């Protein structure tokens, strides 16, 4: 196997030699021929067809064995229902976090305590959800800056939000929105993570009820859900959560205000035409019906005021959630609207919180809204009219600072530390860098191809880092080996510290279609290495069934058998479990290891049980031994030289 990695350390030496020499366009470096090392590098470059720029890109991204990445990306795993953790600049995949779907290595969803987490909102009527459309991972914030404690992520297809604790990188909670069936603008946090915001996508009657499509205007609605986050518990508290009812305008992406605009939320919408399709009935498809008007509506929500009204009892309770009715939201100017150009998509608040940048998929501009103008007009009651739901509309021209001519299909925007914005331009397949000051594009870099989201180092916080931007591209047709008609997604790492943006490396994403991602400085994360002995990671407490060494036992009460087991290099105690066919077995297993990296696994053949037993972790498993037979149990992690010996038997005696 030829690996590009092999050449780099040598190339590094070569560039040191070549220092001060002009680079040779597209060819080998201008290193002095007298240097043995550089001659070798030159040879390698020629043999592999590498330019000077290639070698520089390699030098900027290569990590020698043992060196750590500077940033971590938390990327949505799209249809996989998982979250990817990727190192920057190496673009190495570090972890897949099981969120809405089982993840076997972590033993997530295979018989242990995590089953209850995974089951959150999984049962819809008589259907069980086994996948999710993961869209937008968002890190918890303190004062508008990532604090490295939690990650939230939404499932667009089924309107669920998950909480991941970054102490152990595992999913702790999934909540299902009882009011709507799909979401998109999520899971954005307010600057101190008071709330995790989830806004609906496709309008439907609230409470997941039925109403005929002919009653779309009267009965179908959108929603902005404010999930209350309890930071000390590290969980969303549904009982303290509430929502604002929205008109059926197909709300899209959302962002929280910050600093001066803290207390506000901005949500895009499309299809303010309220097209409902009906192709067979002779109507235009939704896609063209929804593109008739020149403007859709940016929704401006004053959430602090909404919260006051909710607390003052102005809510209607639907399916256990307090909802601020549309009439109240409109009358109190909790919700106001502003025009936004055709088929808007991203809504991104600038680092200083003063402006909102909106991209229009069918427009060539990004539009920059001024929060000060918006607020002043709302306070002065300066509206240009009302929409069909009685919501006040602010004049577009007086609400914006201006527009930047970007290119074809601007979508999402992130920011750096020098006053520049970076917008993904879908149709043109470029990243456009533009100045927030004068709204002028200063640079463009082609990406391969069809970029969707974009992310920058801490790029949506109050203090972005610059340095890196990642283009999240959908179609990579010529970038990787063909692996069938479904191509890998392509994360392209771009250096934005150079005068012109430069492409550093392609990162193939081989699962799901990632949507948004965030990039955090790695040293902000303080994950644990071991659990306190006996910890139930889903309650963060010592489990009441935790087993201490010497206290292992098997207790039988009628046909219920409780097994108290420990795992340690390289045995399970007890290692023999003898039961009768039809018995209910409660297995309580504690890893009594406390050394870093001493992980075991646990499986029972043919029982679909698979656990990961990291040091100190406790697991409970319950099942009925409904099949007589001999079932080996073993450790599934190659934990020691005697790993294969870390085994035992479940013996199920047949009924007579």
Residues that bind ligand RUQ (CB under 6 A): 135-136, 184, 253, 345, 411-412, 452-453, 515-516
Using CB under 6 A as the criterion, what x/- string covers residues 593-632 for binding ligand CUA?
-------x--------------------------------
Q: CA–CA separation, 215 vs 519, rounded Å?
A: 43
Task: Name the pairing type of β-strands 235-236 and 451-457.
Answer: unpaired
In 3-state terms, the chain is what percent helix, strand and coil (to 5)? Answer: 15, 40, 45
Cβ proximity to ligand RUQ: between 89 and 346 the closer is 346
643 binds ligand CUA (CB under 6 A): yes
Cβ proximity to ligand RUQ: between 8 and 265 the closer is 265
| Contact in structure between 350 and 367 (CB atoms under 8 Å) | no
| Residue ranges of E strands in 190-325 | 195-200, 204-205, 220-230, 235-236, 242-246, 251-256, 264-269, 295-302, 316-318, 321-324
225 binds ligand CUA (CB under 6 A): no
CA 8 from centroid of its chain's CA atoms:
32
Indicate the residue whose CB is closest to ligand RUQ: 515
Supply the minimum distance, in Å, between the C-beta of residue 601 and ligand CUA: 7
444: left (phi over 0), alpha (psi -120 to 50) or beta: beta
592 binds ligand CUA (CB under 6 A): no
Tokens describing residue 348? 């991104």
Supply the minimum distance, in Å, between the C-beta of residue 366 and ligand CUA: 54
Supply the minimum distance, in Å, between the C-beta of residue 636 and ligand CUA: 7
Cβ proximity to ligand RUQ: between 38 and 343 the closer is 343
Phi then psi for residue 626, to 5 deg, are -90, 5
- Binding residue for ligand CUA, selected from 646, 648, 650, 652, defined by CB under 6 A: 646
Supply the minimum distance, in Å, between the C-beta of residue 635 and ligand CUA: 3
653 binds ligand CUA (CB under 6 A): no
Residue 161: count other Cβ atoms within 10 Å of its Cβ: 25
Options 34-42, 156-164, 440-448, 633-641: segment touching ligand CUA (CB under 6 A): 633-641
Smallest CA-to-CA distance from 620 within 116, 119, 130, 97 is with: 116
Exposed/middle/buried for residue 181 (C-beta within 10 Å: 0-12, 13-18, 19+):
middle
Cβ proximity to ligand CUA: between 226 and 634 the closer is 634
Cα dihedral angle (323, 320, 122, 94), rounded to 10 degrees?
60
| Contact in structure between 354 and 370 (CB atoms under 8 Å) | yes
Cβ proximity to ligand RUQ: between 253 and 323 the closer is 253
637 binds ligand CUA (CB under 6 A): yes
For residue 611, the partner it binds in ligand CUA, ligand RUQ, none, with Cβ less than 5 to 8 A by kind, is none
Options 240-248, 328-336, 371-379, 634-642: segment touching ligand CUA (CB under 6 A): 634-642
Beta bridge mates, 410: 425
Options 75-83, 211-219, 431-439, 636-644: segment touching ligand CUA (CB under 6 A): 636-644
570 binds ligand CUA (CB under 6 A): yes
Query: What is the DSSP secondary-structure string of 12-33?
Result: HHHHHHHTTSPPPTTS-----T
Supply the minimum distance, in Å, between the C-beta of residue 633 and ligand CUA: 11
Give the binding site for ligand CUA (CB under 6 A).
570, 600, 635, 637-639, 643, 646
């Amino acid at each position: 196997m030829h690996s590009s990695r092999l050449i780099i350390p040598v190339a590094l030496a070569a560039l040191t030699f070549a220092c001060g020499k002009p680079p040779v366009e597209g060819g080998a470096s201008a290193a002095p021929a007298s240097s043995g090392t550089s001659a070798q590098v030159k040879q390698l470059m020629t043999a592999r067809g590498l330019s000077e720029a290639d070698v520089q890109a390699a030098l900027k991204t290569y990590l020698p064995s043992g060196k750590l990445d500077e940033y971590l990306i938390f990327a949505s795993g799209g249809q996989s229902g998982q979250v990817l953790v990727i190192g920057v600049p190496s673009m190495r995949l570090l972890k897949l976090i099981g969120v809405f779907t089982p993840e076997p290595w972590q033993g997530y969803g295979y018989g242990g305590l995590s089953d209850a987490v995974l089951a959150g909102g999984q049962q819809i009527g008589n259907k069980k959800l086994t996948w999710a459309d993961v869209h937008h991972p968002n890190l918890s914030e303190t004062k508008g800056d990532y604090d490295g404690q939690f990650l939230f992520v939404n499932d667009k297809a089924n309107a669920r939000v998950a909480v991941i604790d970054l102490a152990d990188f595992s999913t702790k909670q999934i909540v299902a929105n009882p009011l709507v069936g799909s979401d998109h603008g999520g899971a954005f946090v307010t600057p101190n993570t008071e709330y995790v915001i989830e806004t609906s996508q496709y309008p439907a009657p609230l409470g997941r009820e039925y109403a005929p499509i002919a009653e779309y205007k009267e009965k179908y609605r959108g929603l902005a859900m404010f999930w209350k986050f309890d930071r000390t518990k590290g969980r969303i508290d549904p009982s303290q959560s509430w929502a604002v009812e929205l008109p059926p305008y197909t709300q899209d992406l959302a962002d929280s205000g910050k600093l001066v605009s803290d207390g506000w939320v901005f949500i895009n919408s499309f299809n303010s035409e309220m097209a409902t399709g009906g192709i067979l009935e002779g109507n235009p498809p939704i896609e063209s019906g929804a593109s008739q008007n020149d403007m859709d509506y940016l929704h401006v929500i004053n959430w602090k005021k909404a919260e006051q009204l909710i607390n003052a009892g102005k809510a209607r309770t639907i399916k256990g959630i307090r909802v601020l009715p549309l009439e109240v939201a409109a009358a109190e100017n909790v919700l106001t609207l502003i025009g936004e150009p055709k088929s808007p998509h991203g809504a991104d608040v600038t680092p200083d919180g003063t402006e909102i940048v909106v991209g229009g998929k069918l427009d060539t501009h990004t539009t920059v809204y001024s929060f000060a103008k918006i607020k002043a007009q709302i306070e002065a009651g300066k509206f240009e009219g009302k929409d069909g739901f009685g919501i006040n509309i602010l004049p577009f021209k007086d609400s914006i600072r201006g527009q930047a001519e970007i290119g074809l299909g601007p979508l999402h925007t992130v920011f750096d530390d020098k006053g520049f914005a970076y917008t993904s331009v879908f149709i043109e397949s470029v990243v456009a860098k533009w100045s927030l000051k004068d709204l002028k594009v200063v640079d463009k870099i082609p990406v391969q191809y069809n970029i969707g989201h974009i992310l920058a180092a801490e790029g949506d916080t109050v203090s972005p880092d610059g340095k890196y931007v990642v283009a999240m591209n959908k179609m990579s047709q010529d970038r990787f080996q063909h692996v069938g008609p479904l191509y890998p997604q392509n994360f392209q790492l771009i250096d934005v510290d150079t005068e012109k943006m430069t492409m550093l490396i392609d990162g193939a994403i081989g699962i799901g279609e990632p949507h948004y991602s965030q990039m955090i400085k790695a040293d902000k994360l303080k994950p644990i290495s071991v659990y306190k002995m006996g910890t139930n990671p889903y309650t963060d407490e010592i489990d009441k069934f935790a087993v201490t060494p010497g206290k292992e036992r098997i207790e039988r009460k009628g046909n219920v058998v409780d097994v108290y087991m420990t795992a340690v290099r390289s045995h399970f105690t007890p290692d023999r479990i003898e039961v009768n066919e039809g018995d209910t077995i409660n297995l309580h297993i504690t890893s009594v290891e406390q050394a870093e990296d001493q992980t075991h696994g646990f499986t029972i053949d043919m029982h679909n049980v698979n656990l990961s037993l990291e040091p100190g972790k406790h697991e409970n498993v319950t099942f009925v031994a409904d099949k007589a037979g001999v079932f080996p149990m073993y450790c599934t992690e190659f934990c020691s030289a005697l790993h294969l010996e870390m085994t035992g038997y479940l013996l199920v005696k047949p009924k007579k």
